[in-house]
Amino acid sequence: MTVVDKSAQLTRKDRGRHADRLFWAVCVFAGLAVLIILALILVTTVNEAFPAFSADFFTSTDWIPNDPDGDGPRGPVYGTLAFLYGTLVVSAIAVVVAVPVSIGIALFLTELAPPKLRATIVTLIDMLAAVPSVVFGLWGILVLAPAIAPVYQGIHDVVGGVPVLGSLFGEPRSSGRTFMTAGLILAVMIIPIITSISREVFATVPDSDKQAAWALGATRWEMIKGAVLPHSFGGVVGAVILGLGRAMGETIAVALVIGSSVQITANLFESGYALPAIIVDQWGESTGDFRAALIGMGVVLFIITVLINLLARVVVRRAEIRMKGASA
């Protein structure tokens, strides 16, 4: 270094440099908070739930948290299969109903709606997303369930004798609080997220592909089928998986309308239970191993939803890469 005075002004002043460093450190810590919290969730809940992880927990369909005859041979059993089953069934119903509807809305918004109408519809779909799930649950239990029970009866009367449909749409619960009702409510709740991601995916379809289809004399639907859908498949699958993750974790609405019966049945018009629902329902009355079992179900739910979300991201990422590779 030269000894000219001027160069001293160019060396960093310690105070400013420290401020920069400190700010950086604070920001990094804030970013790390996400990782820390996720790690803590896993560690602390697994630790607390550990006593509950027995063979029964993963294989039994029996849920007998309170030993019915004191200290007899029938000790408490914490089998969670019925809840896992219920979660899978209602999520499956939700996805089956929500996916076509969401894709339809997304296509309507990107390919069909006049620009002026578009903003209004997006606002309405945003409103659908803004309604708290407990409000959907309230509406579901007090309005939808009683109103839809006769519909279930009607469907059962028609298809009850048909082999497969007959067992899916069996004798309905008169309360209307069933797998099906929970699935339908969930469907409404996951429509906004699947719609908004699908919409983004459709918007990335290159205009040149659409023009190619138009120039061949395609109708709007043929253009969508030929140019939009093939390009969007991966992204839409990612959206669906994300929607599935949301449906599986949704707690309150399902807890209110699923009917709270611990049972595994193919009959979608029967009452059932779901993982998150049992946790909030029985939390207040639980202690000791009982509570540990509820926390254990939370761990199962956590792991499932994290895996599903990671999977969704991988699928979307791969679809993005493929699309970029295609246009390059």
In the list 65, 137, 176, 235, the residue contacting another protein (rule: CB under 8 A) is 137
Where do runs of H (alpha helix) occur along the chain? 6-10, 14-49, 55-59, 81-107, 115-130, 133-139, 145-159, 163-168, 179-203, 207-215, 220-223, 229-249, 252-257, 275-282, 288-327
Binding mask 171-210 for another protein (x = CB under 8 A): -----------------x--x---x----------x-xxx
Q: Is 324 in the site for another protein (CB under 8 A)?
A: no
Instruction: Report the alpha-carbon distance of residue 124 to residue 118 in Å, rounded.
Output: 10
94 CB neighbour count, 10 Å cutoff: 27
DSSP state of 172: P
Residues that bind another protein (rule: CB under 8 A) add up to a total of: 105
CB closer to another protein out of 170 and 194: 194
Shortest separation between residue 165's beta carbon and another protein, angstroms: 22
Shortest separation between residue 281's beta carbon and another protein, angstroms: 9
Q: Is 128 in the site for another protein (CB under 8 A)?
A: yes
CB closer to another protein out of 31 and 75: 31
Q: Is 158 in the site for another protein (CB under 8 A)?
A: no
Q: Is 101 in the site for another protein (CB under 8 A)?
A: yes
Instruction: Report the alpha-carbon distance of residue 140 to residue 118 in Å, rounded.
Output: 29
Task: List CB contacts of 218: < 8 A, sequence separation 6 or more.
Answer: 226, 227
Shortest separation between residue 69's beta carbon and another protein, angstroms: 29
Shortest separation between residue 133's beta carbon and another protein, angstroms: 7
In the list 4, 10, 30, 164, the residue contacting another protein (rule: CB under 8 A) is 30
In the list 7, 38, 50, 158, the residue contacting another protein (rule: CB under 8 A) is 38
Q: Is 290 in the site for another protein (CB under 8 A)?
A: no
Instruction: Report the alpha-carbon distance of residue 127 to residue 165 in Å, rounded.
Output: 35
Q: Compute CA distances 141 → 15, 26, 176, 181, 312, whole Å.
A: 62, 47, 8, 9, 31
Q: Is 280 in the site for another protein (CB under 8 A)?
A: yes
Q: Using only the alpha carbons of the chain, give its radius of gyration.
A: 26
Only segment of 52-60, 148-156, 220-228, 262-270 that touches another protein (CB under 8 A) = 220-228
CB closer to another protein out of 96 and 326: 326
